[in-house]
A and B are shown apart, each in its own frame.
Chain A
Amino acid sequence: MSTARDFDCQVTYVEQVLPGVVKVAFDCSGISSSAAPGQFVQIEPSADVFPVTRRPITINRLTGSGFELLFDVVGRGTELMARMQPGDIARVLGPLGSGWKIPLQSNCLLIGGGLGAAGFQFLIDSVDSARVLIGASGLERVIPFGACHVVTEDGSVGEKGLVTSLVTEKYLAEADVIAVCGPVAMMEAVWGVIPEKYRGKVQISTESRMGCGWGVCDGCSIPMLEGGYRKCCTEGPVFYGTEIDWKRWKEAGL
């Protein structure tokens, strides 16, 4: 049974964290009191009829009485959201989706690609210990976390390289849960360097163009290895890496 409800939420702060990357926080105890790491909300970027769908954004972290979103401004919907001001009211449906499957007292290995690491803060705040590995194209795409290992493709932060170069057998062995989030190509590369014996604990946070966000329109399908598809919005967005049909997913070109 979903705990999602539709709320009118007041914007509490808006902050540009990187060029074209914005944090918007909302006051909403209805969502923050029941949200779990990895869940998302469906937000109306505007009160106008257009755009005709909401925007699904992962909860970056909880605040005192609400939640914070951190997102890339990539189109009209997110542009409208970036223009929100403290005091504005937006309609938000949430919390939605399954979230990360994290056992009690777990040690997490988090592997993030660029803005895919948005949402990691909520997970870090919820587990006993977290080791965070971040790969990004450059300085302007690295979300600041407390303690994490960072590599960039241009060498502007940390070593020059890809996030796969940070993944060691020791880290994989020590983790109870391996959480991966980023562009599909990055996640596939990470999946590729993880030996078979650790793959069972790898969880992948997927992303898809969404219609409803609550399971009715069947628009956000993720290809599954068993054949067919599962819904990113209600059956995901987090799936085990072993469940995903990586080949068909990559072909989708999302």
Chain B
Amino acid sequence: MSFPPSVSRNFWGRDFDSPIMLASGTSGFGEELLDLQCLAGVGAVVTKAVSFQPRAGNPPPRLLETPFGLLNSIGLANPGVHHVLKHILPVAAGLPCPLLINVAGESVEEFADVVRVLEKSSAHIGYEINVSCPNVADGGAAFGVDPEVVLQVSRGVSRVTNRPFSVKLTPNGGDMVLSAKAAVKGGASAVTVCNTFLGMHMDWKTGKSVIKRKVAGYTSPALLPLVVARVWQVANAVSVPVISSGGVSTGEDVLQLLAAGATMVQVGTRLMRRPFAAAELMDEMKKLAGE
């Protein structure tokens, strides 16, 4: 790798003018983006999570802004894989950039079941397998905390598709390096590091969490150093590309993550402030490169 890193990337055998991917859950299925025409500077879009059955999602409030970040408890709300295949992917196929479908499951088998259905579509180049969700069938801890379970999930997915897939790990327990190695052993063509951090906001007057599901996913620009460290650790331990996820709000943040070993860089919460963040980040990086 050369420094400073180039914003032109090669990922999964494709050339990308931009390293920026829109993170799962922050850009719908991409079709809303067509509406606002905010795809300038976007390398690829990751859809919100798709599960086998429809999921209504968590009761409100689903969001809580804190002074320095955002808690979310969306609950993987989505209309289920069959609806996505029939009604959403035909529209999302019109996106001018590659699409990855984020896949959620409540059991090891569900991930492969969802992917099997999605194989009928040609709208996407690959998948992102979200092993941060709770393994409902086995106690409720996130799949991602146990390398053995990550291996099973990854193997299950690689059996049903020839398309590349990234396993989106969790920073909440377990060793991300071991889980990343397990994902690759199971056939993953990338790993995504590192998803939201477990967070909570207590109403100290009542002793209750404001978010009904108690704990939630926390994102913040202040988490950038935590993400850089994890990307660097994982990138030095695996041979597949690392997609970073978390902490980005400036072009310089993106360059840091690329320098730490990320091949592609996801942007999420920043889109809440700036729907056109990708174009702005690209402009900022070009300015920095010119200095």
A interface with B by C-beta (< 8 Å): 1-2, 4-6, 44, 49-54, 76, 93, 208-212, 214-223, 227-229, 234, 248, 251-254
Contacts and interface: CB of A to CB of B under 8 A. Distances in A.
A189 B36 CA distance: 38
B36 A219 contact: no
Contact of A49 (B57, B60, B249): B249
Contact of B69 (A5, A52, A54, A248): A52
Contacts of A212: 26, 271-272, 275
A4 B59 contact: no
A44 B277 CA distance: 14
20 contacts: A49-B221, A50-B221, A51-B65, A52-B221, A53-B273, A209-B64, A209-B65, A211-B272, A212-B26, A212-B272, A212-B275, A214-B32, A216-B26, A217-B63, A221-B60, A222-B60, A229-B57, A251-B59, A252-B61, A253-B61
Nearest to B34: A1
A211 B67 CA distance: 14
B272 A221 contact: no
Given A52-B70, A216-B271, A252-B59, 20 more contacts: A50-B67, A53-B65, A53-B70, A209-B61, A210-B63, A211-B26, A211-B70, A211-B72, A212-B271, A212-B275, A214-B275, A216-B26, A219-B72, A219-B74, A223-B60, A227-B56, A229-B56, A252-B212, A253-B61, A254-B60
Contact of A52 (B28, B65, B250, B276): B65
B117 to A, nearest CB: 21
Contacts of A253: 61
A210 B63 CA distance: 7
A78 B250 CA distance: 24
B273 A220 contact: no
A54 B63 CA distance: 13
Is chain B's binding surface mostly helix, strand, loop or mixed? Answer: loop
Given A52-B70, A211-B70, A214-B275, A219 B62 contact: yes
A217 B59 contact: no
Interface string B40-59: 00000000100000001101
Nearest to A51: B65
A238 to B, nearest CB: 17
A49 B275 CA distance: 14
A156 B4 CA distance: 66
B44 to A, nearest CB: 16
Interface in B258-272: 269-272
A48 to B, nearest CB: 10
B60 A208 contact: yes
B18 interface: no
A51 B48 CA distance: 24
Given A53-B70, A215-B28, A229-B77, A6 B272 contact: no
B36 A214 contact: yes
A254 B25 contact: no
A2 B220 CA distance: 29
B74 A217 contact: yes
Contacts of B212: 252
Nearest to A219: B63
A212 B270 CA distance: 10
Contacts of A228: 56-57
A187 to B, nearest CB: 15
B179 interface: no
Contacts of B77: 218, 221, 229
B35 A211 contact: no
Contacts of A52: 65, 68-70, 219-221, 269-270, 272-273
Nearest first, the 6 closest Cβ-Cβ pairs linking A and B are: A219-B63, A216-B28, A252-B60, A228-B56, A53-B272, A209-B63
B27 interface: yes
B218 to A, nearest CB: 11
A212 B70 CA distance: 12
Contacts of A53: 63, 65, 70, 269, 272-273
Question: Which of A6, A216, A219 has the most chain B CB within a 10 Å cutoff?
Answer: A216
Contacts of A227: 56
A221 B28 CA distance: 14
B21 to A, nearest CB: 14
Contacts of B32: 214-216, 234
Nearest to B220: A52
A215 B27 CA distance: 8
Contacts of B57: 218, 221, 228-229
A183 B272 CA distance: 25
